[in-house]
Chains A and B, each alone.
Chain A
Amino acid sequence: MFGFSSGLAWKELSEIRWKVIVSFLVLAVLGVSLVVLYGYISDLLLTVPLPEVFRDQITWQMADFSRYLYANWYSKNLYQVATVIALIMGMNAVAGEVSRKTISFLLSFPLSRGQMAWTKYLVGLLALWVVIVGATLILLGSAVVAGRTVDTPYLLAGLPASLAGAAFLYSLSFLFSVVTRDGVKALAASGIIALALAVPSWFGRLRELSVFTLMSSATTLVTGQVEWARTLVFLALSLVIYAAAAYKLQREDF
């Protein structure tokens, strides 16, 4: 279930490289935009009357550049885009091999199904994490280049939760890629589940159960502390979902 094949990893990396590059560019552009737009937004907010319900919160966020960056990166842009990237990364992991009929070619080599599952899962997950971490570093770097003072530990404290949440959503998409054997169906099924998972975040008492609450890292925004407990829970759930996918793959006929 956890065997690794470097030969297969090379192939997987080569196949997802454009997804990685495009995802990274989209997120990096968003990150740089946030840095560039800070001055304009600050000026704009002075001239626009804010609704009373948001006024205190927005004023608090805009008063500090690091807080503004955190709120707009983790709590708005990153988790939404990372969700889409995670689902796209996982959708074709196994389904792509089935639809192209290359699964029988791949399994004509001395490769166990466990090796196949773990290698594909790990390569996709690491690529997803590289995109998220890389784009976050671009965000920080562009802030430094723009001459802003940045609280780096504070801004990095939101990363573990985002990575765990993305891993959870990617695992779902990977599972459906195995179950449905069809990339589009896998994307649709995991997308619907992801939407359903957003529902708890609308209710006060259930908020903590939502993966999107975790990814938006609102608690860390206020406290500056990493939410390790929930982060580890979602990482563990990701592994459980992977194990279910690997178990299913072991029993499939190709």
Chain B
Amino acid sequence: MTDEYVIETRGLTKVFGAKRAVDDLNLQVRRGSVFGFLGPNGAGKTTTIKMLLGLTKPTSGEARVLGLDVRERSVEVRRRVGVVAEDAPLYDHMTVAETLAFASRLAADWDDQRAAKYMDIFRLPMQARVRDLSRGMRGQLALILALTPEPELLILDEPTAGLDPVMRREFLSTVLDEVTARGGTVFMSSHVLAEVERVADTVGIINKGKLLMVKDMTELKETEKKVRVHFQVEPDPAIFQHPGIASVEGQGRRYIVTVTSDLEGVLERLRTVPHFVIDVVDLNLEEIFMQYTGGKSGVRIQ
């Protein structure tokens, strides 16, 4: 394991009874990146994050965060990592001011001036009880608590769930401005694909505990394409037997082919059949995600 990566897992597995919540996860998150960890509900995102923070013990495998073994040194890990957990669990009976005071006593490297700067950005009412804050304001308060110690790594677990689009944008802008500008790393789990597409430079997709792929966002968009093809004659199904083809929809002479690699090779193969049109279309992240998680019906080429 090297300094280049802030998160590294090898064979990380968590089993709850008969369910493998996380299954043999091998993940590397590069220092300074914004990593989008995508997956449907129950895919294993939160369990992975809890293992990275030492809240949940792995059944097997190993995980290092900032080079530290999370089994042995989880306190040190949490000293250097900021966390915004799903639904921003906070003490409802405390006021915003009391919550900040509480965090200042427990967090490492707390800076009141920095906290005040974030309070100015989000304009939260200091004397309001946490229970009276809107969901968005709770998320903002949780973000202030996580950002104030200037963590090397910020872990966000579904941070914008329940926020309206304007608030979501403001939230993520603050994260990007504050963390990536000073060379920090953001690891963000989400199932809101649009926001991940906007902010992440690397994407990992997990489903049913299995990591299905990790790719650089630019590379992902370059390699993952959809090809619309209208053949002049009905093709032999064998034409679609190519390792770069992930799925094929359609029948007769019209097909939509999803390509995950070797676009040129696939096009060359399709062009061997007489055709009227072969059209290459970019996939957005949502379509790529659906492709990997099987969220869309379609003929999956074995």
Which residues of A come within 8 Å of B, CB atoms? 5-8, 10-11, 14-15, 100-102, 104-105, 107-112, 251, 253-254
Contact = CB atoms under 8 A, between A and B. Distances in A.
Given A15-B93, A102-B90, A105-B89, A10 B102 contact: yes
Interface stretch (B105-113, B181-189, B257-265): B105-113
B129 interface: no
Given A110-B76, A112-B75, A253-B50, A11 B91 contact: yes
Given A6-B105, A7-B105, A100-B92, A110 B75 contact: yes
Leading 5 A-B pairs by shortest Cβ distance = A7-B105, A110-B79, A109-B106, A108-B83, A253-B56
Contact of B53 (A7, A15, A108): A108
Nearest to A115: B75
Given A112-B75, A253-B55, A253-B56, A104 B102 contact: no
Given A7-B105, A109-B107, A102 B75 contact: no
A107 B107 CA distance: 11
Given A253-B50, A254-B50, A104 B55 contact: yes
B90 A105 contact: yes
A178 to B, nearest CB: 15
B212 to A, nearest CB: 25
Given A10-B102, A104-B50, A251-B57, A110 B107 contact: yes
A249 to B, nearest CB: 12
B106 A7 contact: yes
B20 interface: no
Nearest to B46: A104
Nearest to A3: B75
B78 interface: yes
B286 interface: no
Contacts of A109: 78, 103, 106-107
Interface in B213-262: none
A8 B75 contact: no
A107 B75 CA distance: 9
Most buried by A among B76, B103, B105, B108: B105
Given A10-B105, A251-B57, A253-B55, A108 B75 contact: no
Most buried by A among B83, B89, B98, B103: B89
Most buried by B among A7, A108, A111: A108
21 contacts: A5-B106, A7-B105, A8-B106, A10-B102, A14-B98, A100-B89, A101-B89, A102-B89, A102-B90, A104-B55, A107-B53, A107-B55, A107-B78, A108-B53, A108-B78, A108-B85, A110-B108, A112-B75, A251-B57, A254-B50, A254-B56
B111 to A, nearest CB: 15
A170 to B, nearest CB: 23
Given A110-B75, A111-B78, A251-B57, 20 more contacts: A5-B106, A7-B105, A11-B91, A11-B102, A14-B98, A102-B90, A104-B55, A104-B85, A105-B90, A107-B55, A107-B78, A108-B53, A108-B83, A110-B79, A110-B107, A110-B108, A111-B75, A111-B106, A253-B56, A254-B56
Contacts of B108: 110
B287 interface: no
Contacts of A254: 50, 55-56
B46 to A, nearest CB: 9
B195 interface: no
Nearest to B81: A108
Contacts of A101: 87, 89
A7 B91 CA distance: 14
Nearest to A9: B105
B102 to A, nearest CB: 6
Interface string B202-218: 00000000000000000
Contacts of B105: 6-8, 10
Contacts of B54: 107
Interface string B90-122: 111100001000111111100000000000000
Contacts of A6: 105
B91 A102 contact: yes
B9 to A, nearest CB: 17
A82 B100 CA distance: 35
Nearest to B87: A101
Contacts of B53: 107-108
Contacts of A110: 75-76, 78-79, 106-108
A164 to B, nearest CB: 32
Contacts of B102: 7, 10-11
Nearest to B109: A110
Contacts of B55: 104, 107, 253-254
Contacts of A15: 93
Contacts of B98: 14
